[in-house]
Amino acid sequence: MSLINKKVSDFTVKAFKNGEFIDVSLKDTLGKWAVYFFYPADFTFVCPTELEDLANKYEDFKKAGVEIYSVSCDTHFVHKAWHDTSDTIKKIQYTMLADPTAKLARDFDVYIESDGLAERGSFIVNPEGEIVAYEVNAGGVGRNADELFRKLQACQFVHEHGDQVCPAKWKPGEKTLKPSLDLVGQL
């Protein structure tokens, strides 16, 4: 079953951001674009490389009006401990959501029941709280923040210009397509 257009279920979770514990709810995320970036666990191997890549791209996401929420099934205390002990994780300025009950991981359908961990799932959510793009990778396969950002830009463009679509590898300023009978079989 596809998660496209699924509304994110209501939630309130603890989080770690900029040296503080905060509460984050669905209500806090609505009205702006969001990326939910699920990963298996703190203090692991591939995860810090992905989170650092995302941290290095965070300013671009913010300029595009997007907030990033990294999510694992760890507690907010573990997020802080990882932040305090890892030079890589210290670079993170986006919000790290704690999901020890796996409520979010289950809602986004990335929870691995047998392991108590989340899959590597990237979800782009529009201001209305609907999933408009997602990708789930096997545990040993890291993601690319540049490609996630490109997909986000395409989702934003289509959201604003509903009569146009973005072809493969599209980037802002490049030609889009206007679906019509004339294009069928022509590309």
Whichever domain contains 14, its CATH number is: 3.40.30.10
Percent of the chain with pLDDT over 90: 88
Angle between helix 145-160 and helix 46-63 axes, rounded to 10 deg: 40
161 contacts: CB under 8 Å, gap ≥ 6: 176
For residue 88, the model assigns a pLDDT of 96
DSSP summary character for residue 73: S
> In this model, does residue 187 exceed pLDDT 70?
no
- Is 115 domain-assigned? yes
More confident residue, 151 or 176: 151
> In this model, does residue 185 exceed pLDDT 60?
no
- Is 174 domain-assigned? no
Rounded to the nearest integer, the mean pLDDT of the chain is 94
**Contact, 131 vs 143, CB < 8 A?**
no
Split into its structural domains, the chain has a count of 1
Q: Which residue in the list 47, 73, 155, 166 is annotated as catalytic?
A: 47
- Is 28 domain-assigned? yes
Confidence of residue 183 (pLDDT cuts 50, 70, 90): low
- Is 14 domain-assigned? yes
- Is 178 domain-assigned? no
Decide if 47 is catalytic. yes
For residue 167, the model assigns a pLDDT of 85
Q: Write the DSSP string, 118-150.
A: E-EEEEEE-TTSBEEEEEEE-TT----HHHHHH
Could you tell me the residue range of the domain that residue 80 belongs to?
6-143
- Is 187 domain-assigned? no
Overall average pLDDT of the 139-143 stretch: 92
- Is 133 domain-assigned? yes
Structure tokens that stand for 152 in this block: 């986000």
Tell me how far CA of residue 145 lies from CA of 12, 58, 102, 179, in angstroms. 26, 9, 24, 29
124 contacts: CB under 8 Å, gap ≥ 6: 33, 34, 35, 131, 132, 133, 134, 148, 151, 152, 155
pTM, two decimals, is 0.94
E strands in the chain: 12-17, 20-25, 33-38, 66-72, 95-98, 111-112, 117-118, 120-125, 131-137
